[in-house]
Amino acid sequence: MAAEVSLPVPISFVSGRYLLFSSDAVTYLRREHNICGVLMGTLPQAPQQNVFLGLPLELMPEETKLLVEKGVARIVDDFRYHNDAMRSLLQEDRRKYLEDLNRDGQNVSRIISGRKEQRREKALQKVAQKAIARSSSPQVAVAENAEEELFESPTRPGSSMASSSSNVSLSSISITPATTYPLLPDQPPAEYNMDLPQVPTSYAVFAHLHSQGYFLSPGLRFGCQYMAYPGDPLRFHSHFLVYGFERDQEIDLMEIVSGGRLGTGVKKGYLLGFAAEPEDSSSEVRTFSIEWAVLGPSRRDFEVIRQLSVFSAIIHHNPTAISLWTKQCNYALHDGRHGLHHVRRANPTLLHQRIL
């Protein structure tokens, strides 16, 4: 069961970025409000790679503004809050916090020493089993014991000291906390709240698609502003490449053509949208989906027409061949060849004229 999250969720503003450091808050926003964000933290166990990342989670300005407007989150000046909180921290609280960290380190050392003891016991059991097997054949056991005595190194008197030093090193394990929540309160005071972030003109389209239940993520991977998913991106592929613009903004035709071709090439729709009244936050948002289609007949369509003209004389005198050939042509024309297929639908007598 997920832990309860106190609302509004504090979003830390650090160096121009909007970050979330709480895993419970990240899970809550993803599950309840369709906010995914982008993980940007390095995993301690795999620091030399950037395929799998961890906390903190970075939010887009659009996501941050949307959450604040819905009353789910608030923006906190994290730098100023931590500096002031650390200066005003009592000495007793600081000492208690360090003692808790030391206690956690001792617990970790006990776990590690317990695992080492288990491995040691398993090794001793294997040695005992080998000794039992050797004792079953005395001659072999005598020869093996002689070899072991010849090549075995003498016991060192400092072995006990080495084991004791290892115990000391285990007891001195230090814990570096990932968050300051145990030391500082979960909810910073309201005096550290910040204003809404500056967002691009595409925010109206972002908010509109989010209200329709879409998950949105940055679209840099496909050369657009956002990628719209019908559900959680871990379960669905994106359906639209989203681009928002102003109502009176001029758009180059080449951008529309390239966006449509790109969307069709990756099996997505290219979605354009704008707010009817940019000054009104509750204004209607209009969207258009563009898909690229083949214009004109393809080389295969011309080959079908050529074959029809070559065998027209034979087909003209054989009604059965006409029916069979028409079925074959219909299959060829419907096989993804939009150009000639649309021409035939517009002029049904075209194929008949070609045959006759």
The residues annotated with a catalytic role in the active site are: 229, 237, 268
**Which amino acid type is present at position 146?**
A
Integer Cα distance of 229 and 212 in angstroms:
11
Q: 288 vs 204, 261, 356, CA distance in Å?
A: 14, 15, 44
Integer Cα distance of 331 and 303 in angstroms:
14
**Which amino acid type is present at position 195?**
D
Q: 307 vs 43, 119, 314, 317, 339, CA distance in Å?
A: 64, 79, 12, 16, 18
Q: Would you state the structure tokens that stand for residue 45, as one six-digit string?
A: 């166990």
210, burial (CB in 10 Å: exposed 0-12, middle 13-18, buried 19+): buried
Q: 126 vs 135, 155, 176, 299, CA distance in Å?
A: 14, 20, 38, 74
Q: What is the CA radius of gyration of the chain?
A: 36
